[in-house]
Amino acid sequence: MALTEALALEVRAAAEDQNLTISELSHKAGTLKITMQRYLSSTRAIPLETLDRIAAVLHLRGSELVARAEQRTHRS
């Protein structure tokens, strides 16, 4: 599994854990819904600045999401 895909899965899981919809997450992170959908479907990589904004909405650090994604790539 590629890191981009694993990162998308981690963001999606964290959002679901907090009962956030894609619309809510995208609004709070300051991105368009279609862009967030592309990030979460792994058709577009998440830029670092955007990852930090998404992580803040999820009450995490961007580095935490990346570390979780890296672990996921090693499990696959």
Cα angle 44, 47, 49; round to 5: 150
What are the sequence ranges of the domains in the chain? 3-75
- Residue 31's nearest CA partner among 4, 64, 9, 53 is 53
What is the structure's pLDDT at 43?
95
Alpha-carbon separation of residue 67 from 17, 21, 41 (angstroms) = 18, 23, 19
On the question of pLDDT at 76 being above 90, the answer is no
The two most distant CA atoms of the chain are separated, in Å, by 32
Q: pTM score > 0.75 for this model?
A: yes
pLDDT of residue 41: 96
What local confidence, expressed as pLDDT, does residue 10 receive?
97
12-40 pLDDT tens trace: 999 999 999 999 999 999 999 999 999 99
Span 39-68, pLDDT tens digits:
999 999 999 999 999 999 999 999 999 999
| Domain 3-75 is found in CATH 3.40.50.300 | no
